[in-house]
Structure 1
């Protein structure tokens, strides 16, 4: 038998390519099962807390290992059969094998653990995660790579941690109209032998397709992402889509000639119909282009923003600062009960869209400013602007400490933190605690059922 691997005289009790039996006693951040073999941590995708499993070790590091699930010996009562036939291979979902109530419990516990372990906060109320009545077919946007190699047309999500396209017929988390568009696009590619993009030599034409649908309007947009402006048989594609897709109002060619993993380029060509589709968040109307950021779960966005408005506790006389305002979606939502809302965003196009959205919705108590949030906040302080409530909705990496320090200098009575990552949220809540702010409560919202992702709205108050 091979000798066990050693790190600095420490014997690792597992070996790569060897089989083991273990018990799962926790869940990792990505929804994987976590357990120990001789007190050594092993992560196992597809395993659930309480299960006894047989695994094969596929990777070993100094502090932990990864195992491949071979057999479930003792099954959890939370285990269900995924409704998706390609679930085990596709990287679009990763917790579909867990019943939905247990998914929500997992997400609530994940937030609790992050707040306790990372934020070092132990008196924060974490409410049960708000789930969906129907946790399927919720995505209003999907972006899919395409391939036409070996005479097989493939459109689908990438396999986890790879660029291998898993061919799909139906996706149970995207809007059903996208399934029809995928089927029709495959037919078009095959009939006219459309050349698809290859990363290896930066050749080919068609890179991705994107489908967007307004959940409240029913309007559909189809986008073909191409490697250059040449697109053969585009007229035939337009004819096919307009004939078969109910609600179609926009067909766009997006040009992306860069060697990049970024899906969309900056140049759009309208092949048919309008440049945008229309959708609503609450009572507010938004024009959505191929490049627009718009929350992908329309139903839960209403829930998320309503909770942010509740936590802001506005009575009509407050001045609000939306520090990552994007195209102004949260700003407009808060404008309903605020005296004035300042929106800050470093991307100038987003600010232009925010101003347009405010005008379209006849909102006159917002002011949108282009610039770095820290600098804009400093300028507002110098101008004597007193802010009562600050809203932050940062990217996954969270907030810079200097930015949080800038917020604390404004001395708002309330901070509402909208987060898409419990780890960086917890870190930032720990920093805000040191800056004189108490975290009162956190409401997780399940924006992405069947995946491990979770969004949170947090109410934070200035210490007296």
Structure 2
């Protein structure tokens, strides 16, 4: 490799990578440069050298892209929560469609060159869309701060005015920091590993109800803090404590205790209302979730006699959108609280044709089939890790006639399609921008059995 650390080089950016970085070639060596855009001529400094590529820091831009904009966020370069705020929003949508192309080209599922990749559907107002925050808390410069870790580090970047975060949740976390300091509540540090380490604040945008989780390694006295907090914000309906004693990067432990208020808050999607317990998963962008679910419904093309499995069902939101249109719906999720919510939500909506069970999809679905349940329609909405190998084998073994894959990770989607296209044709892939200004996108894949 004709490069050395700290070497300064000129570079022409040919394309953008899956993390939003600019990519160019220097004497046939691939160089990744965060902050650079396609078509730009730049000057950069090598920061890391690997076997097949190098990484560099952007120094100057000799020729700017016409799509470059000034990021509105004052801590954009430090925070790392957003990766492409310097790219005009319409071009962000183009980039996210290209993410799918890159992932497909890497994994090469059969026929990928001719897949119908539909233009990304974005937001009219791509700001303050995140209805949930999970901020780390630390002592910072003599006071309690909350924010995100700088990428690749445990250095906290305090955040007081996030431009993609719901305004009310940001106001609440700012007040929580003041109260944690005032009440002298222990704050987590890397040596002692005790005290508040993470705070989750989620708002049901339709109901304006808020729930909060304090994550800690042991029980804490928070009565005075909670009293002050709920006096300031009438929207707060639930305050919970989650116990996480592990040294791992997992945010939550398995035990959650309601300290104050009700068990759940209300939210709406499409034309129905549902309940959310504190640890239950729900999409971060409620406005785009309506669009995402509409796309899933359209893609599945269900009929009244269909039997549907909703894998990774969470609180049941996708499956419940089909429940009045099919013969039966079954779902599963690894979080017991989410399954309890799903059962409660189905009952509240008057559905008697639903069944939910806590556990892993790759274990439960084969058992259902062994017990005689046959689903001819399947919706999967897996985590970023994609589908489990055992679940993929089960899908290929039993082969539901209709399938929709809702993906939050284009790489694991493309990987899983390599196996799925043994049995299914990809009718189309519709990307939906759930996370403006980040390098992430969601996609709805319509799969038709061959």
How far, CA to CA, are the matches of 2:399 and 2:31 in structure 1? 45
Q: Give the Å deviation of 1:370.
A: 4.2
Shift of 1:270: 3.5
- Choose 1 or 2 for highest CA Rg: 1
1:141 equivalenced with 2:138 (yes/no): no
User: CA offsets, 1:304-332, max 9 Å, x none?
Assistant: 11111111101322111223223322111
- Runs of 5+ unmatched residues, structure 2: none
Task: Give per-residue Cα distances to partners, 1:161-180, cap 9 Å, x unaligned.
Answer: 11111012201111001221
Q: Residue 220 and residue 158 in structure 1: after superposition, are their counterparts in 2 closer, same or farther (change >3 A)?
A: same
Q: Which range is displaced more, 306-315 or 285-294?
A: 285-294
In the alignment, the residues of structure 2 paired with residue 102 and residue 64 of structure 1 have an alpha-carbon distance, to the nearest angstrom, of: 26
Query: What is residue 51 of structure 1 aligned with on the other side?
Result: 40
Extract unaligned runs of 5+ from structure 1: 1-11
Could you tell me which residue of structure 1 aligns to residue 208 of structure 2?
218
- Structure 1 contact 177–245 (Cα < 8 Å) conserved: no
Q: Which residue of 2 aligns with 1:243?
A: 231
Deviates more, 1:111-120 or 1:166-175: 111-120
Name which of 236, 256, 265 aligns with 1:277.
265
Q: What is the aligned-residue RMSD (CA, Å)?
A: 1.9
Paired residues of 2:311 and 2:381 also in contact (CA < 8 A): yes
How far 1:445 sits from its partner (Å)? 0.8
2:11 aligned residue? 22
Name the structure 1 match of 2:298.
310
Structure 1 partner of 2:60: 71
Q: Would you say the 8 A contact 2:362–2:388 is kept in 1?
A: no
1:438 pairs with one of 405, 413, 425: 425
Give the corresponding residue for 1:185: 176
Aligned partners of 2:210, 2:283: CA distance in 1, in Å? 16
Q: TM-score, normalised by structure 1?
A: 0.91
Q: 2:332 aligns with which of 321, 344, 351?
A: 344
The 10-residue stretch of structure 1 (51-60 or 252-261) with the greater mean CA deviation from structure 2: 252-261
Q: Distance in 2 between matches of 1:312 and 1:456?
A: 14
CA separation of 1:14/1:425 partners in 2, compared to 1, >3 Å: closer, same or farther? same
Q: Give, in whole Å, the separation in 2 of the partners of 1:390 and 1:254.
A: 33
How does 1:452-463 map onto structure 2 within 5 Å? 452-463=439-450
Structure 1 258/114 Cα, relative in aligned 2: closer, same or farther at 3 Å? closer
Which stretch has the larger CA shift, 54-63 or 214-223? 214-223
* SS of residue matched to 1:280: strand
Aligned to 2:274: 286
Write out per-residue CA displacement over residues 127-152 of structure 1, whole angstroms, 9 at most, x where no aligned residue.
01111111111111101111124413
Q: How many residue pairs were aligned?
A: 448
CA distance in 2, matches of 1:185, 1:375: 41
Q: CA deviation at 1:384?
A: 4.4
